Structure 1
Amino acid sequence: MASERRVDVTENGNATVLVLVGSLRAASVNRQLAELAAESAPAGVQVTIFDRLGEVPFYNEDIDGPTAPEPAQALREAGAHADAVLVVTPEYNGSVPGVLKNAIDWLSRPFGDGAIKGKPLAVVGAAHGRYGGVWAHDETRKSFGLAGARVVEDLELSLPTAELGDRHPRENAEVTARLRDIVGKLLAETD
């Protein structure tokens, strides 16, 4: 069973960012971007990558409620305890990966009072093609906004994977700086 991976940037991190990765593949560029966001986060920030999206069952109102499946409860708890949310996602067939859409559905309930209600949220990621997943990122922002998150529209990074070549994103100083800046600005949006 996978578990949450916590990345403490400082010993006494006082701000928390929940990271949701829209790709389940262990070696995906988007997972690497999520890890880089954790590694390069500003001082005083605790970044948690929720690694259990693959365990969360498809949303079904019949199984929701006080006895919702444990992975869904864990996702909601992670959302509730975060100060902000960073979504790192590829684009699948021009849209949001199913695993991420499912997470949005679970986080949006109970309707009007979901776990991420009012929390600042940014969407970034990488994808094949020259636009770097911009369609999926736009759709993800829209869905999370409808789910109650406070989407920070001007925090964007849609990276064409060709720009990285065979290198890890951390080998690109510009990408590292942009992710650090996005996490810092995201936290500046917290109440």
Structure 2
Amino acid sequence: MKILAISGSGRRASTNSAILRAMSSIVRADHQVTVFDRIGDLPIFSPDLESFPLPKAVQELVRLVGQNDGLIIASPEYVKAIPSGLKNAIDWLGHVDKRPIRSA
């Protein structure tokens, strides 16, 4: 089973990212965990950017989501909500249509 683990934190020294990396090192041999800890690399979602080709960082996230069987999100809580970077990633994933991703 392939699992994508998304860190909702933009901090380089994020505890959430560290937990996901630790988890990826202890899974069973028949499982693979890929950690996506580059939330801060995604451009701010805008419908104006939804045309193809998508921004490279968005292409990477969409590709990873499509290649995995499951998703785990580890995220801090800010002001009783999810961080804006994670919300932005969810916005991108929710608005990207099903056309194949093409390289820029």
TM-score of the superposition, structure 1-length normalised? 0.49
Which of 75, 93, 100 is the equivalent residue of 1:89?
A: 75
Greater strand proportion: 1
**Which residue is 2:8 aligned to?**
22
1:104 corresponding residue in structure 2 = 90
Partner of 2:45: 59
Between Structure 1 and Structure 2, how many residues are aligned? 99
- Measured after TM superposition, the shift of residue 47 of structure 1 is 0.8
Q: Which residue is equivalent to 1:150?
A: none
Inter-partner Cα distance in structure 1 for 2:96 and 2:13: 34
Q: Which residue of 2 aligns with 1:39?
A: 25
TM superposition shift of 1:43: 2.2
SS of residue in 1 equivalent to 2:91: helix
**Equivalent AA in structure 2 for residue 28 of structure 1:** S
Taking structure 2 as the reference length, the TM-score comes to 0.86
Give 1:1-191 correspondences, 5 Å limit.
15-110=1-96
Higher relative contact order (CA 8 A, sep 6+): 2
In 2, distance between residues paired with 1:86 and 1:74? 17
Q: Distance in 2 between matches of 1:65 and 1:19?
A: 27
Instruction: State the identity %.
Output: 34
CA contact (8 A) 2:8 2:37 kept: no
Separation of aligned partners in 2, 1:80 and 1:86? 14
Q: Which runs of 5+ in 1 are unaligned?
A: 1-14, 114-191
Deviation at 1:17, TM superposition (A): 0.6
Give 1:65 deviation, angstroms. 2.5
Deviations 1:42-95 (CA, angstroms, capped at 9, x unpaired) = 221111111322111011011112121111111101111111000011101111
1:66 aligned partner, one-letter code:
F
Corresponding letter in the other structure for 1:81: Q
